[in-house]
Amino acid sequence: MVRATTERSKEGYHHGNLRVALLASAREMLETQGVGALKLRAITRQVEVSPMAVAPHFGNLRGLLTALATQGFEELAHAIKTGKARSLKDAGLAYIYFAIRNPGLFTLMFRGDAIDRSDPAFAGAASDSFALLDTWAGTSGKAAGFAPQIAEAVMWGKVHGLAILAIDGLLTPLVQATDPHIDLEQFLEQALDYMNTATSG
């Protein structure tokens, strides 16, 4: 059960602690049970508070999930930055590996039916993370004579598609058919190499 890391008073969690605890509870359920299991009552039960306790911090379930998705994009941007991406391949691999490590969170981040994409904090975090990937894609597209936005859309589509295939386990047959001696990581590196070659060519 998820609990706040600091002391609880008789009146309940301190303001900041409860927000953190609710996000942690939702994330734990997300990764173990999937998006469909994210119900307000179940999340609050994990931290032993009433569903009404969500209102001051997130408004409702949609607000809570939007905050969690925002956290996801912030972590994605951090993963790309700390990976010291020097090329589209580096940025793309960081994107895909983030999805593999956080399949539930990654799925939620793109679930428009579950989150509020117009939320300023969410929009800012998403934009920041995409900008890191777009920097390399736009450069490649410009060199090939295309508008940067076209290259960004195509490259993002390819990288995102590989991420979805990876977390759904659909790349496994392709990895095995390619070479029985390589693993998923090596397969993805070769796939990104191919993407770079196809773009530059």
Provide the number of structural domains found in the chain. 2
The per-residue pLDDT of the chain, averaged, comes to 85
Same-domain status, 127 and 101? yes
**Structure confidence at residue 16 (pLDDT):** 57
Q: What is the DSSP letter of 9?
A: B
Same domain, 188 and 163: yes
In this structure, the answer to whether residues 86 and 167 fall within a common structural domain is yes
Mean pLDDT within 185-192 = 93
184 CA to centre of own chain: 19
pLDDT in tens, 18-37: 999 999 999 999 999 999 89
What are the φ and ψ backbone dihedral angles of 114, each rounded to 5 degrees? -110, -15
Question: One-letter amino acid identity for 197?
Answer: T
On whether both 66 and 157 belong to a single domain, the answer is yes
Same domain, yes or no, for 103 and 27? no
Q: Give the position of tokens 């609050």.
A: 44
H or E element, residue 68: helix 61-82
pLDDT of residue 18: 93
Cα torsion at 187, 151, 127, 66 (round to 10°)?
-60
Q: Are residues 74 and 47 in the same domain?
A: no
CATH of the domain at 94: 1.10.357.10
Domain residues for the domain of 47 are: 1-59
Res. 141: pLDDT tops 70? no
pLDDT band of 111, cuts 50, 70, 90: very high
